[in-house]
């Protein structure tokens, strides 16, 4: 891909390419899009060049473990916008920034679950929840977050083995009492 150094060159090249390709007039509706793409590429190139001159390497961080913000939100059952708000007001601690490889860990999931629990059970606002969550020890935080947790993706992500939900007891029918005869399709069955 050719990167042009000046905006006027970008406009000229984009317009001439479309004139040659389509054989139409110089003012085509698509020329504006080509110009904006060329300008975007120029700006991207200039940013990389400035960063390289300052000695800042491009991020080569790779995700190791944890969840992205979107994956954490999906797992916790909230919108990503909610998590961004939690980060902004200081309820959720910020993870180390690694560009696209920024990951949220187990502690972040526990904090989100604890915040949601306090909001639903005690109807607290975030400014009242922030000091309570910050004061909790790790064991207390986990206990609060997993108090009424059911088996599923969240418990699996936390590594908590929960017993499967017990089935409700079956209602006994008076016909199942010992010594009664039940008629089924073509045969009679004596119970008890």
Residues 142-175 pLDDT 10s: 999 998 888 888 988 888 887 776 666 665 666 5
Residue 60 domain flag: no
Q: Which of 96-100, 107-111, 129-133 has the lowest mean pLDDT?
A: 96-100
Separation CA 141–CA 113 (nearest Å): 9
Q: CA Rg, the chain, in Å?
A: 31
pLDDT higher for 107 or 176? 107
Q: Provide the residue range defining the domain that includes 107.
A: 69-158
Residue 40 domain flag: yes
The band of 135, judged by pLDDT with boundaries at 50, 70 and 90, is very high
Separation CA 116–CA 129 (nearest Å): 10
φ/ψ bin of 23: left (φ > 0), alpha (ψ from -120 to 50), beta (otherwise): left
110 and 154 assigned to the same domain: yes
Helix then strand then coil, % of the chain, to nearest 5: 55, 5, 40
Residue 173 domain flag: no
Q: What is the mean pLDDT of residues 37-66?
A: 72
Q: Encoding tokens for residue 67?
A: 């969840």
18 and 93 assigned to the same domain: no
- pTM (2 d.p.): 0.55
73 and 148 assigned to the same domain: yes
φ/ψ bin of 49: left (φ > 0), alpha (ψ from -120 to 50), beta (otherwise): alpha
89 and 133 assigned to the same domain: yes
Residue 167 domain flag: no
The tally of domains found in the chain comes to: 2
Q: Encoding tokens for residue 184?
A: 């089924």
Enumerate residues 6+ apart whose C-beta is below 8 A from 8. Answer: none
């Amino acid at each position: 891909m050719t990167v042009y150094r000046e905006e006027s060159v970008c406009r000229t090249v984009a317009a001439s390419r479309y004139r040659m390709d389509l054989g139409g007039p110089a003012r085509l509706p698509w020329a504006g899009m080509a110009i904006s793409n060329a300008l975007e590429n120029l700006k991207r190139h200039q940013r990389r060049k400035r960063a390289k001159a300052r000695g800042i390497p491009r991020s080569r961080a790779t995700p190791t473990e944890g969840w992205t913000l979107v994956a954490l939100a999906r797992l916790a059952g909230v919108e990503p916008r909610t998590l961004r708000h939690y980060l902004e007001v200081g309820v959720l601690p910020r993870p180390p920034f690694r560009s696209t490889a920024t990951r949220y860990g187990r502690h972040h999931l526990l904090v989100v679950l604890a915040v949601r629990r306090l909001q639903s059970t005690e109807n607290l606002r975030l400014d009242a929840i922030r000091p309570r969550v910050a004061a909790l020890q790790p064991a207390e935080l986990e206990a609060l977050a997993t108090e009424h947790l059911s088996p599923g993706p969240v418990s699996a992500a936390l590594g908590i083995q929960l017993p499967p939900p017990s089935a409700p007891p079956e209602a006994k029918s008076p016909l199942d009492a010992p010594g009664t005869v039940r008629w089924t399709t073509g045969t009679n069955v004596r119970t008890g």
